[in-house]
Every structure is written in C-alpha cells, then in structure tokens.
A = this chain, B = another copy of it.
C-alpha cells in the first residue's frame, strides 16, 4: 500500500468510538477521511453529533448504501453487526479494522457461548488478526483484517502477557477488578445512564461473567498458559477511562521488584505507548486513567505483597483511545507502513 494519502471510511460513525476515530483520523497526516456512515444521522453534519469536530470537517453522514470504495474501512458497529455484511465490507475495501467483538474470538463455539447466538461468518474468523500491536506487532503489519480488542481486554492483556509468558504467575485464578467510565456503555441514553442516577456511582454492573474474559483467556492460552481469568466490572464517576486492578499469585513467593521489573522492561522496550508507572514520589505513583484522557498510552504498574505470593498489577487506559479508536489507528499505522505513533501524539492533560 502506498504511503500517499490513505482513503479511509468509517461504517457506524455516530457513536463514541466513531467520533474518536474521526478526531484522530481528521488530523492524521497520512489519511483522508472519505465517508462516514450512520443510519441514524444520515444527512447531518458530523460536527452536530461530534461537537469537537466543528471546523475540522464539512462532511455529512451518509447511509451505508452510499458507501464507496476506499483503502481501509473501519467498522464501528454494535456487536454482531459487522459479521452480517462481510461481503459488502470486503467488496468496498481491501483492509478492514473492526472495532466490535465479532472477530475477536477465533472459534465460533466460543462466540456462541459468550455472545449467545451462532456466529454468522465463521469462515472469516481465521483471517482476522487480534489487534494488540504490542503483542501481535508483526502479524498486524502483514494483516488485511484486524479485530480491535475489547477495552478491558487490551489493558488487562498488556498487564498480564509479559508475566504469563515469563512464567512468573501461578496457574491460579486471575482476578481483574475493572473500574469503568460511562462512555464505555456507548452513546445511547438509558435509565442507567441518566445523570441523576449515574453521577457519583460506584456501581457493580457485571460482578461475574464479563465477556472480555474470553478474549484474555484465548490470548494467554494460545500462548500456552493454563490460566482462568475472572472479571468484576464496576462503573465509577468518570466519562473516559479504565483502571484494572489485577490480582495474581507468583510462582516464587520471594519474587520482588528485582525479578518483576525486568520482565516488563524487556517486553515493552521501544513500545511507544506503554508507560511503566511505579514511583516512590509524586501524586501519580501508579497508573491513573485521569491523565490519559485523549491519549493512546497504556500505563502499567505493580506491587508485590511483602507477606505473601500476591502480585497486584495495575493498568490504565482511555477506553476510547487505547481501548478502541487510538489502538485501531495504531494498527492502521502498522498495516500501512506509517510510523507507529503518527496521529497519536497527544500527551494528555494535567490537571484535568
């Protein structure tokens, strides 16, 4: 693919992931946004729905029927929608990046078990690469089809993968306590998202059975680990951001910073979007989603308990950036030969 301006379109661009993609792509020096579909908003200016895009674009939303050919197509649809129209998408574009869940799990059985319906395009599953650039870097570079990971999944995997691969962690249950902002539930109003009800909550909304566990287990198990992963998800007062507090147990109870630091350091050396955060001073000693808003960083930290084998790993991202749209642009950069950080340089705000 040429490094000349890449023609990109987005299917389902009126939601929060679509809006965030647009924020990044409209300022990406190697990309031109060609079309953005939305059945709900067809005919309206993008900036009516995404007010931060005022002045950046004069595009209007189009219907999916109007979709023309492009170099790379982003799918930002509700779970289960992308898989229904694979012929259409692949007819329009050689490359796809799907932000939804449809092509994350590699077995149709796993899909059916976790999402409750048969997979509509199982033959496409093996063609998708699971889009974690820090782990699947080379596969993404060569990929035509990429499945963007779930937001809890990517931050948890970035925390766990190096330690699991290095054999630091026991084959005990891994428990992920995920604290989530409200944007994660999407742009559709509901009683649960009504401000007087949602403001200030610490609301346990998925104590067990969270689907992203399936992606995490798949990724760890396909690399040989025999681990089960359990998520408890809690909504907190925040619009953007995730913090995961991951409970693991070390094979070697005596393991300490001296053993664990090098595992993370060597895994993430040269990875531009990973920040290891474990400071003795300052206010931001551990990963903190607040200062990551708008950035593509994943912050990772940890603390080994002195009196036991427990190892707590902390990970933070902006769910709409490293958790969705920013990570997808990072995949685009790899797929299309751009520098990995192009268009993703925003360093974040402080205070905020």
Contacts and interface: CB of A to CB of B under 8 A. Distances in A.
Contacts of A191: 189, 283
Given A194-B193, A308-B173, A291 B52 contact: yes
A131 interface: no
Given A175-B247, A349-B23, A351-B239, A314 B207 contact: yes
Nearest to A348: B52
A8 interface: no
A196 B239 contact: yes
Nearest to A352: B239
Interface stretch (A73-81, A88-96, A142-150, A298-306): A298-306
A308 B230 contact: yes
Contacts of A243: 202, 204, 234
Interface stretch (A31-39, A43-51, A122-130, A219-227): A43-51
Contacts of A345: 27
A48 to B, nearest CB: 5
Interface in A186-201: 187-201
A257 to B, nearest CB: 12
A181 B352 CA distance: 10
A207 B283 contact: no
Contact of A177 (B52, B238, B245): B245
This chain: copies in complex: 4
A288 to B, nearest CB: 6
Query: A interface, how many residues as a size bin?
Result: 35 or more
B23 A306 contact: no
B239 A236 contact: no
A304 B208 contact: yes
A61 interface: no
B208 A352 contact: no
A196 B182 contact: yes
Given A51-B284, A202-B243, A204-B245, 19 more contacts: A51-B350, A52-B291, A52-B350, A53-B347, A173-B310, A179-B179, A193-B194, A194-B195, A202-B289, A204-B301, A208-B303, A208-B310, A230-B310, A232-B247, A239-B352, A247-B247, A294-B294, A294-B349, A294-B352
Interface of A: 16, 19, 23, 26-27, 48-56, 173, 175, 177, 179, 181-183, 187-205, 207-209, 228, 230, 232, 234, 236-241, 243, 245, 247, 249, 275, 277, 279, 281-284, 286-291, 293-295, 301-306, 308, 310, 312, 314, 316, 345-352
